[in-house]
A and B are shown apart, each in its own frame.
Chain A
């Protein structure tokens, strides 16, 4: 239970910059020609015995990897956040960015032999859109006014409002394409590179290569087996002894120890995932911005990155964008640890001797409790007493997060700037249940809407710059670090440039890797 990587517990959406800026370190681009064959065995950290292959229920890394072994999206996100046409060959927006036309790939068939057409796309999207759908992707698609097929190879989306970032959304987790009319999702029928052989939730999955896979130069293994391994030490031991070939969610403290031998390689990728201690701006004492500023100044970010992330990450600046986002603003000065300035703000707020409770568990990210304990020590120097309340890992998202005024959180990267700001920092976000700080600032709401309409990159950059500054200055989130994704793989495994969307090469290791 130690080690929920929980990336996608929160759901859904997507990682990377849709508009295609480099979001990952180019890692070890291999010039080798991929070789076919072998069985890839992956130890998966994040899973549940209650999983199904229903696209509308998204829960874990395990599920996400399995989905992308079996199924495809309209668009795939490649290394560097580049949008790659997948089941859509191309797409085009109208001038007002309200109508989007997707041209679909010809000659693709599902595992059961059924040809892929526009009806499949509409059926798959409707799973999330229809009345009473329980899909978490629903808020993402709420902007869709209507969908219609224009012949078997074209799908047209009409949006309620302009959104220049819409195509990227179709690459999101959950928006996998299943055959029209499919109801028994656990058969795993899709258009993907592997065919489902065995799936026991919470234990393992086995898939074998789809001999008719439409994508050239992908899906090289004969079989891919994923084994659910909750315990980080068990995963490390299994890799050390050769029982598996790769595992995700490496405990950062053990990285240097794993690298001692020559048999194991650490895949470290810069991600957009960030860790934070959000404060609810509508709850005392955080209603005062001076208190919020003091709390932000009273944390030693470098120390936490060094100790909790073992250096595998970078400091955050109290807004959700990392340099991996295209619209990241480098103009905002980095907030540093300054107990004296924190004291000054506390005095201004009339809140010297501030005492607050910080509710944490290791559910949002491994080491959250440790981070809170370090924060407690940092804040003590500013005269702030933080009582760390350790909550059960079990049920953290439903009973602690966004319920307690001050807690720990983690956000995986989102497909683009629009999604993260509109979902988590706007008035709409409060309605959708994602706005954990309850920030309701008219300037934010207006800037989000303006940016969606703006085709000009430089103008959009200015709008998003302003958004970052507002959240940095007035927001409630104490965003202290961006984490790297760390996977450990056997040296027998080879791959091209790694994607930073999710662990394990954007959850597509099975499709992209091969044995040397």
Chain B
């Protein structure tokens, strides 16, 4: 077990380094973008003096490196800073939206992951049979539509035509959990459809890959049932890539939801990030990017630990992971 712990500690340290690298890159890419917050806030036709006035007021006339260091120092004190544009606390700005994003991602994952892995396993069991083909083709067709289009179609059918579910996901006015679930159904479904096929196919591919191994053939010769072979013998050895895929997709559900947020008017983190980039509101952009990156780093760490646990050979100390 101590192997796992030492790996985790090492990865956590690396994760922090990754976050630092990301904050640096984010900061200086926003610097590279044409225009700055002063111009963005004042909009078209801003007079040069007005821009200069605002720039000075916000401290944007200080060198970029100085501003970055100030931001890092604040962060070390646990202060995410204030939005340049509104003067509101970034932590406050982000907290609500982060909650919304996580709830939506969990809802989508709750639909997509069991469905994807389950269908993937069934597809291997019934490999080559009608079920396999239908599941594969249907899920492929499902992800061939751009997300916003899937969303529009779901809305057209379930909201406009049938009137069963709300067309836009308005949250934040003290609704009950049940109401929240109803509101979340369509966005979660849209996201789930986007990842189910992916999880299904990778699960199937991973298990099929293992099925070629000699010990499986041995098991088949022994006359063990196909279901048992897949679940007892093949699946455990295919776990590593499956876990990887599931977790990569989980990360996607948190990070990649901008489009769904826009279509369903759902106040999540993605929309805030896009808006803040367009306003060059660096503290907010930084906070959002760090949150997304941290999500990714932590999920990744989880994937690695689970991979190690699921593959006894990798636990041998000889290997570096």
Residues of A within 8 A of B (CB): 1, 9-11, 48-52, 57-59, 132-136, 138-139, 200-204, 227-231, 233-234, 237-238, 240-241, 243, 394-395, 397-399, 401-402, 432-434
CB <8 Å contact, B160 and A240: yes
CB <8 Å contact, A49 and B272: yes
CB <8 Å contact, B170 and A52: no
CB <8 Å contact, A9 and B40: no
Interface residue? B39 (CB, 8 A): yes
Q: How many angstroms from the CA of A57 to the CA of B278 in the assembled complex?
A: 16
Q: Tell me the minimal C-beta distance from A396 to chain B in angstroms.
A: 9
Q: Tell me the minimal C-beta distance from A11 to chain B in angstroms.
A: 6
Chain A residue, CB-CB nearest to B267:
A203
CB <8 Å contact, B50 and A135: yes
Residues of B within 8 A of A (CB): 33-35, 38-48, 50-51, 53-54, 57, 83, 85-88, 93, 96, 152, 155-156, 159-160, 163, 166-168, 170, 172, 262-265, 267, 271-272, 274-279, 281, 284
Chain A residue, CB-CB nearest to B57:
A134
CB <8 Å contact, B163 and A241: yes
Q: Tell me the minimal C-beta distance from B259 to chain A in angstroms.
A: 9
Whether A233 contacts B50 in the complex (CB less than 8 A), given A11-B45, A50-B85, A398-B34, comes out as no
CB <8 Å contact, A394 and B57: no
Chain B residues contacting A200 (CB-CB under 8 Å) are: 96, 172, 267
CB < 8 Å neighbour of A399 from B34, B50, B53, B57: B34
CB <8 Å contact, B34 and A395: yes
Chain B residues contacting A433 (CB-CB under 8 Å) are: 45-48
CB <8 Å contact, B41 and A59: yes
Chain B residues contacting A52 (CB-CB under 8 Å) are: 85-87
Q: Tell me the minimal C-beta distance from B48 to chain A in angstroms.
A: 7
CB <8 Å contact, B262 and A230: yes
Most chain B C-beta atoms within 10 Å of own C-beta, residue among A136, A398, A402: A398
Chain B residues contacting A49 (CB-CB under 8 Å) are: 85-86, 93, 271-272, 275-276, 279, 284
CB <8 Å contact, B168 and A243: yes
Q: How many angstroms from the CA of A133 to the CA of B49 in the assembled complex?
A: 9
Q: How many angstroms from the CA of A237 to the CA of B187 in the assembled complex?
A: 14
Chain B residue, CB-CB nearest to A139:
B47
Q: Tell me the minimal C-beta distance from B319 to chain A in angstroms.
A: 46
Chain B residues contacting A241 (CB-CB under 8 Å) are: 159-160, 163, 166-167
Q: How many angstroms from the CA of A59 to the CA of B54 in the assembled complex?
A: 15
Q: How many angstroms from the CA of A112 to the CA of B230 in the assembled complex?
A: 72
CB < 8 Å neighbour of B43 from A132, A227, A237, A397: A397
Chain B residues contacting A133 (CB-CB under 8 Å) are: 50, 53
Q: Tell me the minimal C-beta distance from A426 to chain B in angstroms.
A: 14
CB <8 Å contact, A229 and B168: yes
Q: How many angstroms from the CA of A52 to the CA of B83 in the assembled complex?
A: 11
Q: How many angstroms from the CA of A134 to the CA of B172 in the assembled complex?
A: 34
Whether A233 contacts B35 in the complex (CB less than 8 A), given A11-B43, A50-B85, A238-B265, comes out as no
CB < 8 Å neighbour of B159 from A48, A136, A228, A237: A237
Q: How many angstroms from the CA of A395 to the CA of B172 in the assembled complex?
A: 30
Q: Tell me the minimal C-beta distance from B203 to chain A in angstroms.
A: 33
Q: How many angstroms from the CA of A237 to the CA of B34 in the assembled complex?
A: 35
Chain B residues contacting A203 (CB-CB under 8 Å) are: 172, 267
Whether A9 contacts B43 in the complex (CB less than 8 A), given A48-B275, A233-B152, comes out as yes
